[in-house]
Structure 1
Amino acid sequence: MKRSGLLHAELNRVIAAMGHLDMLVIADVGLPVPPGVPCIDLAVLPGTPSFATVFEAVYAELAVQGLTVATEIHQHNPALKQLADRLENEGLAVERISHDEFKRLSARAVAVVRTGETVPYANVILHAGVTF
């Protein structure tokens, strides 16, 4: 049994198997999961678990080189905009694309992690980095 950190077995397995530039989506409850992409469904109730809680747990485990968000966050999700800006200031590459492009790109992800988040556009694609 793990002592700390991310405890979800399936999510740990996916993260451990990721290679450089593989993509992992952390999604709100409404993002459609593309056919053929595994869904790790963590949603329990509206808002639970939150996007922020799941993001922080995954970000602590995964070497992240960059991330992709939808441009719509600028108008509809100030918290995610603030997070993206902070990570970009810390040196991560942040790509901003339309929500429609985001949904198309998510079809190439190794998995979609579905949260209970109900704030619009609370979705991010994490691009795996390397630790060396």
Structure 2
Amino acid sequence: MLKGISSLISPELLKVLMEMGHADEIVFGDGNFPAASHAQRLVRADGHGIPELLKAVLPLFPLDIYVESPVALMAVTPGDTIETPIWDEYRQIVKEHHFKAIELEEVERFAFYERAKKAYAIVSTGEKALCANVILKKGVVVE
């Protein structure tokens, strides 16, 4: 155990976050996301929801201020009737941990999959909400 680091962050996840450099991306995939078949590095966070993981990670993880949006969501497929209230929760969490106001980018499903394949790592979660997948782009530590 370490002081000041959430117990939700496993040693493996902490290592991945530390290894990542500026502009590297990490995906937090919901329980339906094909994480194992898409990941260069797979981190398991079974049983944890994405909002609670974002609340644990974002105090430690700078978001990239040099891009239009350092946070990307998997867009709902046109014609689907899926509700995405979890996106509002993400917006609030990002707002609490990022000094600059940002819009969360929506990425078409298959484009999201391709981007996920290039990500530094994918965190496979137990999130049950649909269309809850999110990508974070790492910035630089300026403190």
What is the TM-score normalised by the length of structure 1? 0.83
Q: How many residues align?
A: 128
| Compared CA separation, residues 20 and 90, structure 1 to 2 (3 A) | same
Query: 1:28 and 2:30 equivalent?
Result: yes
CA positional deviation for 1:82: 4.7
Normalized per residue, the structure richer in helix is: 1
| Compared CA separation, residues 86 and 42, structure 1 to 2 (3 A) | closer
On the 8 A contact 1:6/1:61 being kept in 2, the answer is: no
Query: 1:38 and 2:41 equivalent?
Result: yes
On the 8 A contact 1:38/1:111 being kept in 2, the answer is: yes
Percent identity, aligned pairs only?
A: 23
CA positional deviation for 1:72: 1.4
Report the equivalent of 1:76: 83
On the 8 A contact 1:22/1:110 being kept in 2, the answer is: yes
Structure 2 residue matching 1:24: 3-state secondary structure: strand
Q: What amino acid is the match of 1:71?
A: A
For residues 55 and 128 of structure 2, the distance between their equivalents in structure 1, rounded to whole angstroms, comes to: 17
On the 8 A contact 1:71/1:96 being kept in 2, the answer is: yes
* Residues 1-132 of structure 1 mapped to structure 2, 5 A cutoff: 1-7=1-7, 8-33=10-35, 34-35=37-38, 37-43=40-46, 48-65=47-64, 66-72=70-76, 75-84=82-91, 87=94, 90-92=100-102, 94-132=104-142
CA positional deviation for 1:71: 2.2
For residues 39 and 104 of structure 2, the distance between their equivalents in structure 1, rounded to whole angstroms, comes to: 26
On the 8 A contact 1:6/1:12 being kept in 2, the answer is: no
On the 8 A contact 2:26/2:137 being kept in 1, the answer is: yes
CA displacement, residues 11-45 of structure 1 (integer Å, 9 cap, x when unaligned): 111111111110000111111124451111111xx
Over the aligned positions, Cα root-mean-square deviation in angstroms equals 2.5
Normalized per residue, the structure richer in strand is: 1
Structure 1 residue runs without a partner (length 5+): none
| Compared CA separation, residues 36 and 79, structure 1 to 2 (3 A) | closer
Q: Which runs of 4+ in 1 moved over 4 A?
A: none
The worse-fitting range, judged by mean Cα deviation, of 13-22 and 59-68 is 59-68
